[in-house]
């Protein structure tokens, strides 16, 4: 069966993360966590890890990285790496730049941190306030081996997840995590 990576950015959020973990059930996904949110909700970070999901770095304050001077860019990543490692005991290997804003300098800095940049093949546009129906329809466009971009903190996303899982199963696709290459 072909795999599709489900990814969730910007969490954790106490309003939606527990429900999202419940909706995923035994399905494993990749969560790109926002450092400020992780610091505010360490128990949710631990719950995500304990449920078997992969945790990736999504910066400390969610800036446009390509606009920052090198020391600030490095601090955004390093601070989040250190926190997520302390909370889970596992150093993240994956990174998603906020807004998909990346360039050669960002990629070089990520390489220095031993991080693999992960973008996406399908943007569900849940961040733009799309309805659950629109999110499900967008996710249905994913091809085998693709990566679906979703966001925590959005009730419509939470409502869409069980339907996305069912639609993938109908197509013979298995949802899962972004592979970590080591």
Reported as a pLDDT band with limits 50, 70 and 90, residue 1 is low
SS3 percent helix, strand, coil of the chain, rounded to 5, is: 45, 15, 35
Per residue in 23-63, pLDDT tens? 999 999 999 999 999 999 999 999 999 999 999 999 999 99
**Range 24-45 burial, b when 16+ CB lie within 10 A, else e:** beebebbbbbbbebbbebeebb
Asked whether the beta carbons of 158 and 19 are under 8 A apart, the reply is yes
- Identify the H or E element spanning 47: helix 42-50
Tell me which residues are annotated as active site.
9, 151
Convert the pLDDT of each residue in 57-104 to its tens digit.
999 999 999 999 999 999 999 999 999 999 999 999 999 999 999 999
Q: What average pLDDT does the structure give for the chain? A: 96
Q: Cα separation of 158 and 150, whole Å?
A: 10
Percent of the chain with pLDDT strictly greater than 70: 99
* Domain ranges (residues) in the chain: 2-176
pTM: 0.96
CATH node for 2-176: 3.20.20.370
Q: What is the mean pLDDT of residues 105-113?
A: 96
User: Which pLDDT value is given to residue 162?
Assistant: 97
Residue 62's alpha-carbon distances to 9, 19, 104, 169, 182, in angstroms, are 10, 23, 19, 33, 26
- What pLDDT does residue 182 have? 57
| Per-residue pLDDT, 180 | 77
The pLDDT-based confidence of 136 (bands split at 50, 70, 90) is very high
- Is the pLDDT assigned to residue 155 strictly greater than 80? yes
Q: Are 66 and 90 in contact (CB under 8 A)?
A: no
């Amino acid at each position: 069966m072909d795999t599709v990576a489900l990814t969730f950015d910007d969490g954790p959020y106490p309003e939606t993360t527990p429900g999202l973990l419940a909706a995923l059930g035994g399905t494993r996904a990749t969560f790109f966590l926002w450092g400020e949110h992780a610091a505010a909700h360490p128990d949710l970070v631990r719950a995500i890890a304990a449920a078997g999901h992969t945790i990736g770095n999504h910066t400390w304050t969610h800036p446009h990285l390509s606009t920052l001077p090198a020391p600030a860019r490095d601090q955004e990543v390093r601070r989040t790496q250190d926190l997520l490692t302390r909370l889970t005991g596992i150093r993240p290997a994956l990174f998603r730049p906020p807004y998909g804003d990346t360039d050669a300098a960002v990629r070089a800095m990520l390489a220095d941190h031993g991080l693999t940049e992960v973008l996406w093949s399908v943007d569900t546009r849940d961040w733009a306030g799309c309805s659950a129906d629109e999110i499900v329809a967008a996710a249905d466009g994913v091809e085998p081996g693709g990566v679906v971009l979703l966001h925590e903190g959005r009730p419509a996303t939470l409502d869409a997840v069980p339907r996305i899982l069912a639609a993938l199963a109908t197509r013979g696709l298995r949802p899962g995590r972004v592979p970590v290459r080591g």
